């Protein structure tokens, strides 16, 4: 699907119609789309949600102190190693910042880190990939420094978050699905800031799939599969549909020409033998 707009001179004509293109390789913002037009029983139906608002920053709190020596404004405070004062550095419990590979969880300059020296807020600049920041003032020995910082990490939403409901013609209530932030519409690797999310549900023609919370949707051949992207409540943001084809029929084996001829010959011989065994014997008349 693609959003289409046309600009001419000072006039801007925005088309609010979604144009469906079979070969489209891009999904518009705030949308959902199945990755296939049709599915079979037993398959997993995958769909993509595109919404940058779902790519939300994570946050942690870093603490140093008391500082053993004066640290000048030209020095960087590392959120991975704790330099320049690693011996008095700590991160809050449960922090998901990647201290081993900071570029995997790049810092955000907006919102800006909230840095305080001895409880007083100071300005800080950020080196996103290095995972460090510098403050605008000298930090004297025996001081404390704290920083609430924001970073991008792969966002994961659970089925209970109520963002996606997948239903079918045979399972109108449907099944809630989770979402995982991935690198692209055709990528399965995690991403911290793509705004592209992958979701999946299993398709089953077993009525057990009508139970909720099992990650499966009950389907029958000819059903229409519907994915509804919600705001976490009852308001629908977007919708996509696909069809269910059922199970592909198993073709009846056709014997080779040679096999057919052999069977026909055998049947003919058997018929001749049966006729000879069952025909009445003729008597000869005497002269």
The pLDDT profile of the chain, 287 residues, written as one tens digit per residue, is 333 333 334 333 333 233 333 333 456 678 999 999 999 999 999 999 999 999 999 999 999 999 999 999 989 999 999 999 999 999 999 999 999 999 989 999 889 999 999 999 999 999 998 999 999 999 999 999 999 999 999 999 999 999 999 999 999 999 999 999 999 998 889 998 899 999 999 999 999 999 989 999 999 999 999 999 998 888 999 999 999 997 654 555 555 555 555 555 556 666 665 556 555 554 444 44
C-alpha span between 258 and 189 (Å, rounded): 53
Report all structural domains of the chain as residue ranges with CATH numbers, in order of start: 28-54+155-244 (2.60.40), 58-151 (no CATH)
| Residue 237 and residue 229 in contact, taking contact as beta carbons nearer than 8 Å | yes
CB neighbours of residue 165 within 10 Å = 20
pTM of the entire structure?
0.67
Regarding beta strands 196-204 and 216-218, do their DSSP bridges make them parallel or antiparallel, or are they unpaired?
A: parallel
| Residue 134 and residue 75 in contact, taking contact as beta carbons nearer than 8 Å | yes
In the numeric block, the tokens 């909230």 are attached to 114
């Amino acid at each position: 699907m693609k959003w289409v707009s046309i600009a001419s001179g000072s006039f801007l004509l925005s088309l609010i119609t979604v144009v469906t293109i079979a070969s489209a390789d891009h999904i518009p913002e705030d949308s959902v789309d199945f990755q296939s037009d049709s599915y079979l029983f037993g398959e997993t139906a995958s769909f993509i949600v595109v919404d940058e608002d779902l790519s939300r920053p994570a946050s942690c709190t870093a603490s140093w102190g008391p500082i053993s020596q004066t640290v000048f404004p030209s020095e960087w405070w590392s959120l991975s190693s704790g330099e320049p004062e690693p011996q008095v550095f700590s991160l809050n419990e449960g922090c998901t910042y990647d201290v081993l590979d900071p570029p995997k969880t790049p810092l955000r300059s907006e919102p800006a880190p909230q840095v305080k020296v001895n409880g007083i807020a100071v300005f800080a600049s950020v080196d996103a990939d290095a995972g460090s920041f510098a403050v605008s003032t000298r930090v004297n020995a025996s001081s404390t420094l704290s920083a609430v910082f924001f970073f991008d990490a792969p966002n994961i939403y659970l089925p209970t978050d109520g963002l996606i409901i997948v239903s079918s013609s045979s399972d109108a209530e449907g099944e809630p699905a989770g979402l995982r932030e991935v690198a692209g519409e055709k990528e399965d690797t995690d991403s911290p800031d793509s705004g592209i999310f992958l979701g999946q549900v299993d398709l089953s023609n077993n009525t057990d799939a009508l139970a909720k919370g099992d990650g499966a949707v009950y389907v029958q051949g000819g059903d229409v599969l519907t994915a509804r992207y919600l705001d976490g409540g009852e308001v629908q943001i977007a919708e996509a549909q696909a069809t269910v084809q059922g199970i592909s029929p198993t073709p009846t084996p056709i014997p080779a020409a040679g096999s057919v001829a052999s069977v026909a010959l055998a049947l003919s011989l058997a018929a001749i033998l049966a006729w000879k065994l069952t025909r009445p014997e003729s008597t000869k008349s005497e002269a």
